[in-house]
Structure 1
Amino acid sequence: MKVEQVAIRTSYFSIAGNALLALAKALAGFFGNSFALIADAIESLTDVFSSTLVLLGLRYASKPADDNHPYGHGRIEPLVTFAVVGFLIISATVIAYEAIQNIGTPHETPKAWTLIVLGVIILWKEASFQIVLRRSKTTNSSSLKADAWHHRSDAITSVAAFVGITFAIVMGEGYETADDWAALFATVIILYNAFRIFRPALGELMDENTYEELTDEVRQISMSVHDVEGTEKCFVRKVGLQYQIDLHIRVDGALTVKRGHDIAHEVKDTLKAKLPQLANVHIHVEPTWEG
């Protein structure tokens, strides 16, 4: 299965899971007197929209190169990631505002059964995080990685809610706002994760040189091609789910132009065969002269 198809199916998984959880949390929070659960539902609702955005972005990024976009449409990926970060910031702001409002408003202690709901949610969201993060690594998708951390943020807010509700139930009267404080604390974690998602996506958009492991692989594979005497410059940039390579190789300066051309094509074909994540490889041939 192509990486694009894997990424798109993973997005559908996120959308369906977040929609069901948003409904479950909202109902449990309303009937169980827990704002922390309602705050969780708000974040899951924003997750539905952000996952939908990721899906649309992945579909657009998978479009083939054309005359107007000779390098493909992959640059939409970090832009979608920025939008997902925006959703995280909005959800954190809404949760914080509502939590502060509730802290100053007397209300009932959350129901004990809400802890069971939260326990199931925590397990599901952590499993979702692991699944989506693994798929993001398989597909090299920054927007899927952002979606994965959205799942982890959701799990963290659920853990905070679990702790807050447990504290409110155990301590009893006077501690009804414990789960509101838990929701407020969770917003700090959400904002921290938003920064963790934003920073690498910005680097991707700015073509930062952060692919040392892939660069080493490209050099080693190139050196395995007959008549390649060495490598010089090697620039890597990520475009969507794939990478663009600019590589300088050194060959014997006494070889014919045709032979140098053939070597360059052999290096390119070898790299693309062994590293399927490469979209395009541009080879520049440098001559080596004895003496």
Structure 2
Amino acid sequence: MSREKELKNITVWSFIGNFVLLVFKFVAGLCGRSSAMLADAVHSLSDFATDIVVFICIHLSSKPIDDDHDYGHGKYETLATSVIGVVLLFVGVGIFWSGASKIYGFYVLGEPIVSPGKIALIAALVSILVKESLFQVTAAVGRRYESQTVLANAWHHRSDAFSSVATASGIAGAIWLRDSWTILDPLAAVIVSVLVVKVAIKLTVPAVNDLLEKSLPEEVETEILDTIGAVDKVQDPHHLQTRRIGNDYAIEAHIRVDGKMTVDEAHEIMSRVERRLREKYGQGTHITLHVEPVK
């Protein structure tokens, strides 16, 4: 099965799972009068929406190089990861605001909080099981094909599983302890929001850095220079410039060779350098080398 087909397949399964959970959670939240479950349902809604984004971007990023995209379409995956992160961030802030408002109303305004029903607790437990299973399967596929977007979507699943753990704890406490402990329901929603925002930042920052053409980490650049310098007859690799294009590296460097070499000899050395780099960093690595003579 091709990379694109398997990535799309796991995204479709995520799409189906999130849709079923979305409906179940909203019904459970409304029938069970649980703000924490409704917050969890909103989180699943963001999962559902981002699955659509992921599917589209996987399709676009898998397109070959064309006249309009000399470096391929890999940035679409990075863009999708950024979108997922930003959506998660807004979801987290929204959940926090909703939960904090209910806590404020309870303690400051004296507004009562209705004890949630058991259906909300059942929905939270089902969500934990389903979302953790989706995380494990999606993460395995993402790692196998080194897909930033699918891995980001996997962590979106796990953040939902974490949020459901907090939701289940809050709902269970509110059901069994009752009275003043009903505050545990919106408190769980606030805890969920913090977890969601943390995952959002973890996903968004690296993706935005890639979109802004940030260089590869210093240790990777040092390794690249060592790899180039280890090729026979190459001297003083320098002026290294690097960035990521989707899942691939883009490497540009200057090398020095004996100025008395023929063009054919210099070209053969460059070819050996390119082969060595692609063996180490993948066949999709974009490499540009500039040769300078050693006088």
Equivalent residue number for residue 163 of structure 2: 157
Question: Where in structure 2 are the equivalents of 1:85-96 lying within 5 Å?
Answer: 85-96=85-96
Q: Cα–Cα, structure 1 residues 141 and 83, in superposed 2: closer, same or farther, change >3 Å?
A: same
Q: Which residue of 1 aligns with 2:108?
A: none
Q: Does 1:106 align with 2:112?
A: yes
| Change beyond 3 A, Cα 1:127–1:213 | farther
What is the rounded CA distance, in whole Å, between the counterparts of 2:55 and 2:263 in structure 1? 46
2:131 counterpart residue number:
125
1:88, distance to aligned residue in structure 2 (A): 1.6
2:180 to 150, 156, 174: 174
Confirm or deny that 1:9 pairs with 2:9: yes
C-alpha contact 2:96 2:194 (8 A) present in aligned 1: no
Q: Which digits, 9 at most, give the CA deviation of each residue in 1:119-146, with x for residues without a partner?
A: 3422432343344344444444333343
1:253 aligned partner: 259
> 1:231 maps to which residue?
237
Structure 1: stretches of 5+ with no match in the other structure: none
**In structure 1, how many angstroms separate the alpha carbons of the residues matched to 2:42 and 2:77?**
25
After superposition, the Cα gap between the structure-2 partners of 1:116 and 1:3, relative to the gap in structure 1 and judged at 3 Å, is same
Matched, 1:263 2:263: no
What SS does the corresponding residue of 1:128 show, helix, strand or coil? helix
Rounded to whole Å, the distance in 2 between the matches of 1:120 and 1:149 is 18
Cα deviation code 1:31-65 (max 9, x no counterpart):
33322122111110121111211211121122122
RMSD (CA atoms): 2.7
Q: Which moved more, 1:147-156 or 1:123-132?
A: 123-132
Q: Equivalent residue of 1:175, what SS?
A: helix
1:195 is matched with which residue: 182, 188, 201? 201
> d(CA) in 2 for partners of 1:8 and 1:222?
36
Q: Which moved more, 1:36-45 or 1:172-181?
A: 172-181
Matched residue, 2:35: 35
The 2-side partners of 1:49 and 1:113 are apart by 25
Residues 1:247 and 1:10: Cα distance change in structure 2 (over 3 Å): farther
Judging changes above 3 Å, is the alpha-carbon distance between structure 1 residues 249 and 123 closer, same or farther for their aligned structure 2 residues?
farther
| TM-score after normalising by structure 2 | 0.84
Q: CA deviation at 1:72?
A: 1.7
Residue 26 of structure 1 is matched in structure 2 by: 26
Q: Give the residue type in structure 2 aligned to 1:193.
A: V
SS at match of 1:208: coil
Q: Name the amino acid aligned to 2:41.
A: A
Percent of paired sites with the same residue: 34
* Segment drifting more, 127-136 vs 59-68: 127-136
Matches within 5 A, 1:40-55: 40-55=40-55
What is the TM-score of this pair, normalised by structure 1? 0.85
Shift in CA distance, 9/21, structure 1 to aligned 2, threshold 3 Å: same
How many residues end up aligned between the 2 structures?
289
